[in-house]
Amino acid sequence: MKRLLPLLLVRHAEAPHHVHEAAGGQAETGLTDMGLKQAELLAVRLKRELPGVALFLASSEQKKARQTADILGQELGVAPRFFAELEDLNISDPAGKSKGMAHLPVTPTDEPSADWQPYPGAESWHQFYQRVSCFMESLLAREDIPGIAKAQELGDAALILVTHAAVIQVVVNWWLGLDVEGMIRMEITPASLTVLRINRRGERMIERLNDTAHLYAAGIIDHIRL
């Protein structure tokens, strides 16, 4: 496999469900005013840290991710490509509803939680992991992917993926060789940056995880949750 590094994972900036504590999922919402500011701050940071670097910008097709990717693309001078494979976990019925209204049924003890589908049409974590990890394997192997006319378009570019918290969790666990049953859960905040790379010994590394220094420098502080 030809190396395509670093791999930069960006969670979309703030959307209404963050403010109103609603279930996110595949609810089709855009960014808040704060989210637009967060995306602009991240775009400026990436332009500063990646001068002269060839980039391939991929994004989820969902509106909040598309808006974030468009802002990054304008600053970086690269047009984003959009992929359904980078969309959030499909939770079906609760998407976009307040957390008070979106009560998920209790996971049955006689069924593996990774295969459990709480609502008709919902995606299990096993299905979700397969969807995201298969896409990542194809992307890093430069195989033909719908939306890319030729795999050669990827070249030796650094990848920037604008997506969702759950997708980033899957990508990081896949990167570390962990399957869905052994996944480590992690906090991924809006407009954060996670960087994955391979070191000189060929080992897969996490360089940065949920990095929000660009927001902190602008006075947008996400306090430790107590």
H-run or E-run covering 66: helix 63-76
Instruction: Using pLDDT thresholds of 50, 70 and 90, give the confidence band for residue 16.
Output: confident
pLDDT at 26 over 90: no
- Mean pLDDT over the full length of the chain: 85
The percent of residues in the chain predicted with pLDDT above 90, rounded, is 61
Q: Which residue has the tokens 């992307």?
A: 139
CATH superfamily of 7-103+112-217: Phosphoglycerate mutase-like (3.40.50.1240)
Q: Which residue has the tokens 């963050």?
A: 18
pLDDT at 94: 52
Instruction: Using pLDDT thresholds of 50, 70 and 90, give the confidence band for residue 146.
Output: low
* Residue 89 CB-half CA count within 13 A: 23
pLDDT at 1: 45
Preceding omega of 108 cis (within 30 degrees of 0): no
What is the dihedral sign for C-alpha 157, 62, 17, 220? positive
Q: How many angstroms separate the CA atoms of 125 and 131, rounded?
A: 10
Instruction: Using pLDDT thresholds of 50, 70 and 90, give the confidence band for residue 115.
Output: confident
pLDDT at 213: 96
- 170: nearest Cα among 208, 128, 211: 128
pLDDT: is 24 or 91 the higher one?
Answer: 91
Q: Per mean pLDDT, which range of 96-110, 141-155, 169-183 is the poorest?
A: 96-110
Q: Which two tokens stand for residue 51?
A: 């001068």
pLDDT at 155: 73
Instruction: Using pLDDT thresholds of 50, 70 and 90, give the confidence band for residue 58.
Output: very high
Residues 59-102 pLDDT 10s: 999 999 999 999 999 999 999 999 999 999 998 765 455 555 44
Full 3-state SS string of 134-201: HHHHHHHCCCCCCCCCCHHHHCCCEEEEEECHHHHHHHHHHHCCCCHHHCCCCCCCCCCEEEEEECCC
